Amino acid sequence: MKKLSTFALLAFFTLINASAQTYTDFTVNGLNYRVWSATEAIIMPKGEEASYSGISTSNFAETVSYQGKSYTVVGIADGAFSKAKFSGNITLPSTITTIGSYAFDAAEASTLTLGPNVQILLEAAFAGNKITAYSVNAANPYFTALTTSDGTNSDGVLASKDKTILVSFPGGKKGSGGWFGGSSLNYTIPSSITEVGDFAFYMNSNVTSVTIPNTVKRIGRAAFYECINFSRLTIPASVEELGTSAFCGCVNVTSLTFNSPSKLEELPGHSFFYLASLKTLTLPEGVKRLGLMSFASCEALTTVNLSSTVEVLDTTCFLDDPITKIDLKNVKHIGRMAFSGCTELTSIIGGSKLESIASVAFTRCNKLTSVSFPESLKFIDSNIFFRCTGITSIALPSTLECVIGGFTGCTSLQTITIPDNAPHFKLIDGVLYATTGATLEGEEPVADGDHDQPTVLVAVPTAITNKELNVPEGVRAIGYQAAREVPLTSIALPKSLQEIRGSGFGSNGKLTSVTCLAKVPPTVASAFATADYQNALVTVPTQSLDAYKTATNWQPFQHWATVDVPDDEPIVGDVDGDGKVDVSDVNATINIILKTKTVDDYPGNADVDGDGKVDVSDVNAIINLILKIE
């Protein structure tokens, strides 16, 4: 079948739909037209919120006249005959070459005959139609109508001229006997077909079963969308490509079978969305990716058997399904909200190759009680267990490199564990901190340093026994939602703290005391809620009280106290004043020696050895400090 060039498609679509231009519209014999060119016109919809009714072949014409000019009718605009009710058999003018998107959406007709020059069917031209049969002029080089010689019940089915693409199944075609007063129709696609076209069976409620032969390689987008009377589906091993929403909304399907060995590598977005009666899913070997909402809202789906080849569970792929347990097998990535709303999920096993979990992946999985992750997991996005109220413990692996956000809404979470040999994270008093090399919220990795020195507070278990949080010295940040909704009564923050990230302490309604020893007020990104401001007594360094009272997001606190905080002893070798001794201090000292900088350019003392001058001996002294050589 000849395909229209991108330019030609764009030209047709733009002409019909662009609203910024002025067109000449007119009506002839009950049909609306629009001038397309100096010599051509197209058929337009009846009007906004209106549909044609009682139109017959006699209403159509190959040429129409307006204001003394004659126009050849060459196309049917998008939605022109949507919900139209035709009278009898309809033969389209032989001059028509193009039929627009949804042109015959839900249209009712007996036989619809395409003329010899129709070559372009835009997206979903016949979607949801109630046409009894198609007929095509024998001279048409692009399309044909199948007959009973092509297969049982195939008469009147629109196909490509070579009979390899099933273009549109007539939605008004009925079988004999069976359900719905004789409308039951079991259909076997002819073996000549290699592709079931986009929207081919869209919203067909008459076909009760379809047999797809092993000659079919592609099933198009929304090909069987809302075929509500299907009860069983079998995808032959020959299928290599499945379009988005291919079987979306087939609500009465109770059995879904993929013949092996499958050639499918991806089940794309919405491909099996809302198969409301499907209870068990077994995926074939070969499938690597489950797309966006591919099996979401399958209201009866309790059992899922992933194949060993599945690597990616994309965003919302099992959203709101009543799955009871999942063996991840060789899955590498779990997408955002992939299992969100799976309220019957009690067990997550396997996943020996799991590397990353996107945000809110397991939201509201309230029957999960304990979760452990394999020694392969590297990345956890924010709130992967959001509102999982049954979880009491989470075991993290030593391989973890990045955590974004805490475990908000896990109201029963008492313990977080991670191996002592984890290089990037550690536990102090049951609280998870990031150390050297960890990444958080897309930052650069935490600078190399002592693994025993925590730098960012990552997560506080919501149901932690100790409600008094004492953040150790050296921590420079409270992470995103690290202690959100944790019912802490008091928080003690160190001199080293520089920032409290978004909702770091959000909604801590029982908070009565906050002590922050940082002389410069840490930046606060909406970390506290109104209840915290109203109830908590905030204690800060005496010399910094005014600064805190005027600092952004510290201002609303109403109760203040002060404490004397002595000045820090300078760190020997910390020339650049960043609180640690490292290569940057070596470079600063060299800059002073080379006179590209002066001692006044750095806050620290570059005369490390105390001999009254800055020279190579000071560089050596700093290197010894870095290497911990006495």
Binned at pLDDT 50, 70 and 90, residue 15 comes out as very low
Separation CA 499–CA 534 (nearest Å): 21
Q: What's the pLDDT score for residue 277? A: 98
Domains 6-112 and 156-323 share a fold: yes
Q: For residue 19, is pLDDT > 60?
A: no
Tokens 């939201």 -> residue: 363
Listed in sequence order, the residues at least 6 apart from 210 whose beta carbon sits closer than 8 Å to its beta carbon are 186, 187, 188, 189, 201, 224, 227, 230
Query: What DSSP letter does each residue of 595-615 carry, written as one string?
Result: TSS-GGGSSS-S-TT-SSS-S
CB of 78 within 8 A of CB of 98?
no
At 224-267, the pLDDT tens digits run 999 999 999 999 999 999 999 999 999 999 999 999 899 999 99
Domain segments of the chain as ranges: 6-112, 156-323, 477-563, 583-627
Band of pLDDT at residue 447, cut at 50, 70 and 90? low
Summarised one tens digit per residue, pLDDT across range 334-366 is 999 999 999 999 999 999 999 999 999 999 999
Q: In angstroms, what CA-CA distances link 520 with 475, 485, 496, 542?
A: 14, 26, 10, 12
Asked if the model's pLDDT at residue 14 lies above 60, the reply is no
What pLDDT was estimated at residue 177? Answer: 46
CATH topology of domain 477-563: 3.80.10
Q: Which two three-digit tokens encode residue 71?
A: 């126009």
Which numeric CATH code is attached to 156-323?
A: 3.80.10.10
Q: Whole-angstrom Cα distance, residue 450 to residue 470?
A: 20
Cβ neighbours, 10 Å, residue 450: 11
> Which whole number is the average pLDDT over 97-122?
97
Q: How confident is the model at residue 2 (pLDDT cuts 50, 70, 90)?
A: very low
User: What band does 444 get if pLDDT is binned at 50, 70 and 90?
Assistant: low
The answer to whether residue 7 scores a pLDDT higher than 80 is no
Q: Which CATH number fits domain 6-112: 3.10.20.90, 3.40.50.1970, 3.40.50.11540, 3.80.10.10?
A: 3.80.10.10
C-beta atoms surrounding 182 within 10 Å: 11
What per-residue string of b and e applies to 264-274 under the rule 16 or more CB within 10 Å gives b?
bebbbbbbbbb
pTM of the predicted structure, to 2 decimals: 0.85
